[in-house]
Amino acid sequence: MATTDRVPVTVLTGFLGSGKTTLLNRILSENHGKRIAVIENEFGEVGIDHQLVIGAEEEIFETNNGCICCTVRGDLLRILGQLLKRRDKFDYIIVETTGMADPGPVAQTFFLDDEFKQQFLLDAIVTVIDAHHIEKHLDEMKEPGEQVAFADVILLNKVDLVSEAELERIERRIRAINGTAKIFRTRNADVPIERVLDVGAFDLNRALAVDSAFLEPQYPFEWAGLYDLAAGRHELRTGSDAHEHHHEHHHHDENCDHAHHEHHAHDHGHHGHDHHDHDHDHAHEGGLAVALLTAGAGEPAAVIADNIEPAVRAFAEDGVQIDCGGTLKPATAPYRIDVGHDGSHFHIDIERAGRYVLVVEHAPIEFGLRIEGAKPIVERRFASHHHDEEISSIGLTDPRAVDPNKLNDWLSYLLKSRGADIFRMKGVVSIKGEPRRYVFHGVHMMFDGQLERPWPPGVDRVNTLVFIGRNLDRQELEAGFHSCFA
Amino acid sequence: MKSPPALLEPRGTAVLDDYIVDIAWAADGSRLAVAGGEGKVCRIENSSDALSVSEVGQHGLGALAVAWHPKQALFVSSGQDGELRLYDAIDGKVLARQRPSKSWTTHLTFSPDGSQLASAAGKQISLWNSQLESQHALPSLEATVAALGFDKSGRDLAAAINGGVVVHRLEGPRYPVRHYRWAAPCITVNFSGNGKFLAAGTQDGSVHFWYLATGRDSQMRGYPGKVDQLGWSGDSRYLATAAGDRVVVWDFGGKGPEGSSPQQLAGHTDRIECLAYQPRGNFLATAGLDWRLSLWLPGKFPAAIDAHLTDSEPSCLRWSPDGRFLALGERKGKLSIFELVRI
């Protein structure tokens, strides 16, 4: 059977209330001329003429030894098997899972046997996220993180309910989990249909599209700005009254006494990190790291570039923790500032007027961080490598050509030893002496790879590998891949 | 080599405007009922040459199963619309309808004496009388029923599920249940005709069987994919299965198949999709994605004793209860009837 006859399948995940059903209704009611079969775990309110909506009771099949890598969805096997028993196939299949479903077994169902591989083409895993609740969900449950990790497309929905700063923070957190998914910010799950259907995320013939920022060198900071500062005292502030906060946490006044009080309690007892116990963001526990470096003259962008290395050295230091109202000075180590919930303020003492680079661990917009009365001459964002999430993405690039046998050995070893932890992997590999690109992708231990079209002329042959999973070890993956070079 | 003892002689064909998913034969082989994947239910007269087809119903977006009463001119169909329908086989009229479940009723089977019809929808098995009147719902199982089968006496009803085979003994005020556990998704189940064995095929490429007298079980591995086709020879000596393009036959004679190597019958060149052992006989029919129908006599001949080409991928293969006729359904709707002619 020709592979072009394969019926594309989109897996739709997301928590109850995320907007998943809204998206599904949008897809079904849009005039796209496709005959769509929808397989739902729960009968919702979907019901469109001429579309088949099937209820399925989630049923996990553990084949072989019960390892997660070998689990598939029995209900899907049966229903998809029935859908094939027609002369005119459906044009498209959408599998809508429950909020608590693990996307792994759903995706693996499509890799299970040759018969299914010949009939169906997993197009993409689309995850709908309620921007208003996702941080809480990520903190409290494992399923949302898995749904983000497996996704090829993420709809960050209900963006109208959160501030821009919160969105930045949420996106950063999603990116830390899944470095390659396409993220669309939506209201009412309103997104052009071509962004969610026929995406081709599992299609080895389409180029592996990875956000290039994800593959850039990663730094322990995300932002740097070059300032011209006069001698004297400046105010560094966080928080803003420019926008409403939609968090449901306790309100703290922008009040240093309060912060001091809290910190006293901290000093006297806890050395833990949990005094922000109602805060959803782990990232600035222990304070937000900022460094102020003395900069030289020159073209502003070049000055920032020149300061990357000093900034990396500075961020290797532990840093000095300072409370609201404390003072920062140009130094070769970072400060850890308490950004508070509704803002805090610090002093910057400058002895000599001149140019300074402010380097910040996370994007300032997330905290409303600014130097009062001063605007950066130039600013730059950096890709950062987060260790905060249990589930994360690791991207590797290297131009060195690979020995196919060594690659095979390593990938086999990796699948066997780490298959349960690696949710998704994808790669484009330069094989020594081979004009074509080797492309692969995998879901847990299910793996699919082939030689694809030739490297385009004039394009550097660079290996690009992406791993998304739990407790991934960058050094281990790097060392493993480096052992494959021809 | 000995000359073959029988051949399949083409008797008649018809083209139905549907994908044939299930076929049921009348006890005397005079008629058949066919379920179509796009919803049609047809009744077919098994006359020689052109088979006369009458459409007797439509099950929404797809029909799922048909079963013929073993003694009377009645048959039942089920479909994606959730309905069960009982038809008069003479005039094709619907005699009764039921909608037992929100789930699809995917399996239908009559007990050998025709007193009971068992249906399965999701985890739920229901028992009906032959008039499709009274429903008796068995307690819901722990997983979805993937196959149903009565034993020869009609006393035991087996259901294949993820986790083994559940057998209900349909006796007494409450039906005792015996769960033959096996930690794999079982997708097909067959009692041997002599009542000694229960065999199940699994999603993960193995065949499992139990000695009913002792409950002792055994596993036969090495299949390249799921085992969804099983059949016992009429004398219960051979269990035939399909493994890719090979027919794999286990010999239950003597000390049984444990520790032995099965016969592997080669002849097909692509995956075998359908397999049917002749009821009360020892001829085996198979059909594969190589568009070939083959006839075998396992234990006697190592190669196919007859073969015919089909017009598209085969989708269903059923012997008439008397073992005289064989019906082959295809994905593109062609139905062919062959007669087993002994030489």
- Flag whether pLDDT at A242 surpasses 60: no
Q: d(Cα B13, Cα A459) in Å, to the nearest integer?
A: 59
Contact A86 B38 (CB under 8 A): yes
pLDDT for res A83: 86
CA distance B107 to chain A (A): 12
Q: d(Cα A231, Cα A348) in Å, to the nearest integer?
A: 10
Q: How confident is the model at residue A284 (pLDDT cuts 50, 70, 90)?
A: very low
User: Can you give the pTM of this predicted structure?
Assistant: 0.78
Spatial contact of B226 and B201, defined as CB atoms under 8 Å apart = yes
Structure tokens at A240: 């803003």
Q: Is B58 on the interface with A (CB under 8 A)?
A: no
Residue in chain B lying closest to A55 (CA): B103
| Percentage, residues of chain A above pLDDT 70 | 81
pLDDT for res A478: 92
Which amino acid is residue B125, in one-letter code? Answer: I
Residues of chain B with pLDDT under 50: none
Task: Out of B143, B315, B332, name the one closest to residue A59 (CB).
Answer: B143
Contact A55 B19 (CB under 8 A): no
pLDDT for res A45: 47
Q: Is B185 on the interface with A (CB under 8 A)?
A: yes
Spatial contact of A95 and A9, defined as CB atoms under 8 Å apart = yes
pLDDT for res A388: 63
β-pair type (A320-322, A335-337): parallel
Edge-to-edge strands, sheet with B284-288: B272-277, B284-288, B292-296, B306-309
What number is the average pLDDT over the span A90-115? 86
Residue A473 phi, psi (nearest 5)? -115, 110
Residue in chain A lying closest to B40 (CA): A86
CA distance A136 to chain B (A): 34
Higher-confidence residue of A394 and A243: namely: A394
Contact A78 B146 (CB under 8 A): yes
- Flag whether pLDDT at A279 surpasses 60: no
pLDDT for res A366: 80
Interface of A with B (CB under 8 A): 43, 52, 54-55, 57, 59, 61-64, 66, 70, 74-75, 77-78, 82, 85-88, 113-115
Which one, of A215, A12, A16, A104, lies nearest residue A470 by Cα? A104
pLDDT for res B74: 97
Edge-to-edge strands, sheet with B40-45: B20-25, B31-36, B40-45, B52-58
Three-state SS letters, B121-161: ECCEEEEECCCCCCEEECCCCCCCCCEEEECCCCCEEEEEE
Three-state SS letters, chain A: CCHHHCEEEEEEEECCCCCHHHHHHHHHHCCCCCCEEEEECCCCCCCCCCCEEEECCCCEEECCCCCHHHEEEHHHHHHHHHHCCCCCCCCEEEEECCCCCCHHHHHHHCCCCHHHHHHEEEEEEEEEEECCCHHHHHHHCCHHHHHHHHCCEEEEECHHHCCHHHHHHHHHHHHHHCCCCEEEECCCCCCCHHHCCCCCCCCCCCCCCCCHHHHCCCECCCEEEEEEECCEEEEEECCCCCCCCCCCCCCCCCCHHHHHHHHHHHHHCCCCCHHHCCCCCCCCCCCEEEEEEECCCCCHHHHHHHCHHHHHHHHCCCCEEECCCCEECCCCCCEEECCCCCCCEEEEEECCCEEEEEEECCCHHHCCCEECCCCCCEEEECCECCCCCCEEEEEEEECCCECHHHHHHHHHHHHHHHCCCEEEEEEEEEECCCCEEEEEEEECCEEEEEEEEECCCCCCCCEEEEEEEECCCHHHHHHHHHCCEC
Chain B residues within 8 A of A64 when measuring between CB atoms = 204
pLDDT for res B148: 97
Tell me, what DSSP letter sits at residue B261? P
Q: d(Cα A112, Cα A77) in Å, to the nearest integer?
A: 9
Q: How confident is the model at residue A210 (pLDDT cuts 50, 70, 90)?
A: low
A396: CB partners within 8 A, 6+ apart? A463, A464, A465, A466, A467, A477, A478, A481
CA distance A145 to chain B (A): 28
Give me chain A's average pLDDT, please: 81
* Least confidently predicted of A65-69, A481-485, B46-50: A65-69
- Flag whether pLDDT at A271 surpasses 90: no
Task: Out of A57, A82, A113, name the one closest to residue B62 (CB).
Answer: A82
* Least confidently predicted of A35-44, A124-133, A316-325: A35-44
Tell me, what DSSP letter sits at residue B196? S
Chain B residues within 8 A of A74 when measuring between CB atoms = 143-144, 162, 185, 203
CA-to-CA separations, A199 to A126, A195, B163, in angstroms, rounded: 10, 7, 37
Q: d(Cα B94, Cα A30) in Å, to the nearest integer?
A: 39
ipTM: 0.85
Q: d(Cα A361, Cα B305) in Å, to the nearest integer?
A: 77
Residue in chain A lying closest to B184 (CA): A63
What number is the average pLDDT over the span A77-86? 87
Residue in chain A lying closest to B19 (CA): A86
pLDDT for res A197: 93
Q: d(Cα A484, Cα B80) in Å, to the nearest integer?
A: 52
CA distance B228 to chain A (A): 12
pLDDT tens digits for range A349-384: 999 999 999 999 888 888 889 999 899 999 998 876
pLDDT for res A4: 60
Q: d(Cα B313, Cα B329) in Å, to the nearest integer?
A: 9
Contact A78 B37 (CB under 8 A): no
CA distance B331 to chain A (A): 7
Chain A residues within 8 A of B103 when measuring between CB atoms = 55, 57
Helix, strand or coil, per DSSP, at residue B102: coil
pLDDT tens digits for range A179-208: 889 999 999 999 999 999 998 888 776 656
pLDDT for res A246: 37
pLDDT tens digits for range A329-344: 999 889 999 887 677 8
CA distance A108 to chain B (A): 14
- Flag whether pLDDT at A219 surpasses 70: yes
pLDDT tens digits for range A409-453: 999 999 888 888 999 998 899 999 999 999 998 888 888 888 988
CA distance A2 to chain B (A): 14
Dmax over CA atoms of chain A, in Å, equals 81
Contact B61 A52 (CB under 8 A): yes
Spatial contact of A363 and A222, defined as CB atoms under 8 Å apart = yes
Chain A residues within 8 A of B162 when measuring between CB atoms = 59, 61, 74
β-pair type (A446-454, B217-220): unpaired
Contact A57 B332 (CB under 8 A): no
* CA A227 and chain centroid, separation: 31
pLDDT for res A214: 63
Pick the residue of A35, A63, A73, A113 with the most B CBs within 10 A to test the interface with B by mutation.
Answer: A63
Range B213-223 burial, b when 16+ CB lie within 10 A, else e:
eeeebbebeeb
Higher-confidence residue of A35 and B54: namely: B54
Contact A74 B203 (CB under 8 A): yes
Contact B104 A66 (CB under 8 A): no
Tell me, what DSSP letter sits at residue B216? -
pLDDT tens digits for range B221-279: 889 888 999 999 999 999 999 989 999 999 999 888 888 889 999 999 999 999 999 99
CA distance A427 to chain B (A): 28
What number is the average pLDDT over the span A281-302? 79
CA-to-CA separations, B309 to B8, B271, B289, in angstroms, rounded: 12, 15, 11
Task: Out of B80, B162, B183, name the one closest to residue A59 (CB).
Answer: B162
Pick the residue of A1, A61, A70, A109 with the most B CBs within 10 A to test the interface with B by mutation.
Answer: A61
Residue in chain B lying closest to A113 (CA): B225
Residue in chain B lying closest to A59 (CA): B143
* CA B173 and chain centroid, separation: 30
Task: Out of B19, B61, B204, name the one closest to residue A64 (CB).
Answer: B204
- Flag whether pLDDT at A103 surpasses 70: yes
Spatial contact of A194 and A123, defined as CB atoms under 8 Å apart = no
Contact B144 A78 (CB under 8 A): yes
